[in-house]
Amino acid sequence: MDSSLSPNPFDHQKTSNAEPKKSFITSLMTLRSNHVKEDTYFVSELKPSEQKSLQELKDKLSSSSSGASSMWGVPLLGGDDRADVILLKFLRARDFKVGDSLRMLEKCLEWREEFNAEKLTEEDLGFKDLEGTVAYMRGYDKEGHPVCYNAYGVFKEREMYERVFGDEEKLNKFLRWRVQVLERGVKMLHFKPGGVNSIIQVTDLKDMPKRELRVASNQILSLFQDNYPEMVATKIFINVPWYFSVIYSMFSPFLTHRTKSKFVMSKEGNAAETLYKFIRPEDIPVQYGGLSRPTDSQNGPPKPASEFSIKGGEKVNIQIEGIEGGATITWDIVVGGWDLEYTAEFVPNAEESYAIVVEKPKKMKSSDEAVCNSFTTREAGKLILSVDNTLSRKKKVAAYRYTVRKSTTTVV
């Protein structure tokens, strides 16, 4: 039997609390320029001058010592349209100046050979404890771009910092590992006209020790800029400190419109609200207000979640009806930046039965991750998940999902 939501699963109980007006700092912290449309890489859609530059680059490449080279498993010459995608990335990075693009491409090929980049993803560099916390690929955005997360807050601990960056040898090993993570992301790309040809990067600035990581950050940035042109569709900064907006306003005039259009900045406490605009909640890590846990990949593709929002001064009840007796219902629920009360109860259909408190009212802290729980019923009824935001003035994004299983049948 299918267990479905009632026609109107959300029972809104509103109060008179109004949402606060945005302050100057709040407005400044949600910086994003008008987004430049991502390239499709169809040669037919290029300007005549750009088509000419592409052909000139191919001609120069064919007569150079790099003509027989390949990159990410794609031969750069020979008519493969995947090669056009790669060559156009280098041309775009150098404003379609053929000479500059060729030099950039040749230097990148030299670096990849010295770095043994083509086989890098197969190496065990000994950073298993950093995977899933410092830099890792996790899920896709709503347009199918692979998402790379970066968070360096763990290095505020001196012991951890010394273990990873204590000397030049350790630093170089870390840089190699960081490039390895990016290489894994690049290998998820299509390199096809009209396909997914770039990734999304999410960088968490919370607790990041800026001075200590300056050398590593600069080297990572330099490596990526020189050797992975146009590989990032959007760069999202979350948990941005208040003073960063001032810094941004100072260097913003020196950035191109195309570069600035890829930046999204979100102040601390707004990570979920920002990420939900680009990524579905089932693909967002639990520490950022999503439902994705590192072990989820072992169970196949993530089960889609339903998104909803809770206004300031509002209580929302989610009613999951049609649950048979003896069934087990499992659910996940999260509210970005919680700071509200959550409870769950099961209400039997029979009038003579009593409601069962499955989860007592609990004040959820802002740092709390998604709730995952299950309940086996003795009789038919419905589960009600309640989130009470009546004491807050802030609107919050949220998501939930559930499955209902009988002993031999899975019902969704």
At 3 the pLDDT is: 36
Torsion of CA 100, 104, 107, 109, to 10 degrees: -130
At 243 the pLDDT is: 74
Query: Which pTM does this prediction carry?
Result: 0.86
Q: Name the band, by pLDDT with cuts 50, 70 and 90, for residue 33.
A: very low
Average pLDDT over residues 181-205: 96
Residues 186 and 137 placed together within one structural domain of the fold: yes
The answer to the question of residue 79 being in a domain is: yes
DSSP string, 1-26: ----EEEEEEEEEE-SPPPPPPPHHH
- C-beta separation of 310 from 357 below 8 A: no
Residue 149: phi, psi to the nearest 5? -105, 140
User: Coil, helix or strand for 311?
Assistant: coil
Domain region containing 78: 34-115
Residues 128 and 96 placed together within one structural domain of the fold: no
Residues 322 and 367 placed together within one structural domain of the fold: yes
The answer to the question of residue 274 being in a domain is: no
C-alpha to C-alpha distances, 316 to 165, 312, 403, nearest whole angstrom: 47, 11, 20
- C-alpha Rg value of the chain to the nearest Å: 25
Q: CATH no. for residue 53? A: 1.10.8
CA dist 273 and 171 (Å) reads: 34
Residues 247 and 150 placed together within one structural domain of the fold: yes
What's the domain count of the chain?
3
Residue that is written with structure tokens 């990873």 in the block: 164
- Look up residue 131 and give its two tokens: 């995977």
User: Coil, helix or strand for 280?
Assistant: coil
At 354 the pLDDT is: 95
At 185 the pLDDT is: 96
The answer to the question of residue 340 being in a domain is: yes
Q: CATH no. for residue 322? A: 2.60.120.680
The answer to the question of residue 13 being in a domain is: no
Quick check: 5 pLDDT over 50?
Answer: no
CA dist 226 and 100 (Å) reads: 12
CA dist 224 and 221 (Å) reads: 5
Quick check: 310 pLDDT over 60?
Answer: yes
At 126 the pLDDT is: 87
Residues 183 and 156 placed together within one structural domain of the fold: yes
Residues 79 and 178 placed together within one structural domain of the fold: no
Q: How many CA atoms lie within 13 A of 207 on its CB side?
A: 10
In 3D, which of 263, 262, 233 has the Cα closest to residue 245?
263
Q: CATH no. for residue 150? A: 3.40.525.10
At 411 the pLDDT is: 45
